[in-house]
Amino acid sequence: MNAKISFRNVSQTFPLKKSTFTALDEVSLDIGDEEFVTVVGPSGCGKSTLLNLAAGLATPTSGEVLVDGRTVTGPGPDRGVIFQQYALFPWLTVRGNVEFGLKLASVPAAERRLRAERAIGLVGLTDFADALPKTLSGGMKQRCAIARAYAVDPQVLLMDEPFGALDALTRVQLQDQLLETWSRDRRTVLFITHDVDEAVYLARRVVVMAARPGRIHSVVDVDLPYPRTEDIRLSPEFARIRNAVWTSVYHQTPAAPAA
Ligand SMILES: Nc1ncnc2c1ncn2[C@@H]1O[C@H](COP(=O)(O)OP(=O)(O)OP(=O)(O)O)[C@@H](O)[C@H]1O
Ligand SMILES: [Mg+2]
């Protein structure tokens, strides 16, 4: 496999008053170019920590994170990040927020406008392009954050529970729209979620993590064709894979006693 993102024996510890806390313990994972990988696992098992390392927002205590074979040393325009807590600039409108990353990348104004408009349209916020974040619902703010990442058109999308705050209908719509965008543009996607159905519906492989210490419990192949459709979502094969992932997530035996 041609790895786009590689985690090699990655450990991340955080200092506590009298000891250290192991958030990630010797995690190794290769994510292929243009692959869609989802990560599920109990709260606190290190999912966001893993994503932050790929984003270059943190450096591992030991081991290595590589993108395109190069060690990650910081954030870059090749990787678009959508955070668990939507991070919008409150003083900028939806359009301003979406254009922000393009400005940083020195994209000329006219093209900025076009790309922002397209991304805003994709997430269904066209009528709110001139609204400030404080006037938007939680779901709309998150859609704005998604549009901001889409607009920059990065090779890698790092998404940390992007649809977690959304209602079920919007969530399903955005899942389909994300898959549609992915089928067309074939980015590499690392997508974290709490939702086992979502994990299976989107991914080619589901990484199940375990907590204390944070580690990879298992990797489940999702042998379902793309495009994923409602028929697939309702198929016995989907249910079988979903049940396997569910069992891995919720019937884990802890490797160590709780710290
Ligand atoms: N800066 C930090 N200092 C100390 N501990 C931290 C720090 N960041 C994360 N942790 C701990 O590391 C563990 C993993 O955190 P992380 O945010 O990666 O979990 P998560 O799997 O994303 O959880 P959730 O599903 O709730 O978002 C947690 O127990 C957390 O308390
Ligand atoms: Mg998290």
Is the distance from CB of 175 to CB of 227 less than 8 angstroms? Answer: no
The answer to whether the beta carbons of residues 183 and 74 sit under 8 Å apart is no
Q: Whose CA is nearest to atom 5 of ligand 1?
A: 14
Residue 158 scores a pLDDT above 80: yes
Q: Of the residues 40, 49, 196, which should be mutated to test ligand 1's pocket, given the most ligand atoms within 8 Å of the CB?
A: 49
Which of 13, 47, 158 gets mutated to test ligand 1 (max ligand atoms within 8 A of its CB)? 47
Q: Which of 39, 48, 160 to mutate to test the pocket of ligand 1 (most atoms within 8 A of CB)?
A: 48
- 13-31 mean pLDDT: 95
- Burial (CB < 10 A; 0-12, 13-18, 19+), residue 184, is exposed
Summarize the confidence of residues 49-62 as an average pLDDT.
97
CB atoms within 10 A of CB 44: 14
**22 C-alpha to ligand 2 centroid (Å):** 15
CA distance 100 to 154: 14
Q: What is the pLDDT of residue 224?
A: 97
Tell me, what amino acid is at 94? V
Q: Is the pLDDT of residue 259 over 80?
A: no
* Residue type for position 161: E
Can you tell me which atom of ligand 1 is nearest the CA of 84?
Answer: 27
Tell me 109's DSSP state: H
Q: What CA–CA distance (Å, rounded) separates 70 from 78? A: 12
Percent of the chain, pLDDT > 90?
Answer: 78
Predicted pLDDT of residue 170:
84
Using CB atoms within 10 Å of the CB of residue 70, give its burial: 0 to 12 exposed, 13 to 18 middle, 19+ buried.
exposed
- The number of beta carbons lying within 10 Å of the beta carbon of residue 255 is 12
Strands (E), the chain: 3-15, 20-32, 36-40, 62-67, 70-71, 79-82, 156-160, 188-192, 205-210, 215-221
Residue spans per domain, the chain = 85-153
pLDDT of residue 164: 86
What pLDDT is attached to residue 184?
87
* 116 in Cβ contact with 98 (< 8 Å): yes
pLDDT tens track for 187-222: 999 999 999 999 999 999 999 999 999 999 999 999
Ligand 1 atom 16: the closest Cα is on which residue?
46
Does residue 131 carry a pLDDT above 90? yes
Taking the CA atoms of the chain, what radius of gyration do you get in angstroms? 18
Statement: residue 105 has pLDDT above 90: no
Tell me the C-alpha distance between 9 and 25, whole Å.
8
Question: Which pLDDT belongs to residue 153?
Answer: 86
Q: Does pLDDT of 257 surpass 60?
A: no
pLDDT in tens, 169-180: 888 988 998 999
Return the minimum-mean-pLDDT range out of 77-86, 125-134, 225-234.
Answer: 77-86
- d(C-alpha 194, C-alpha 192), whole Å: 7
Taking 90 as the threshold, does the pLDDT of residue 167 lie above it?
no
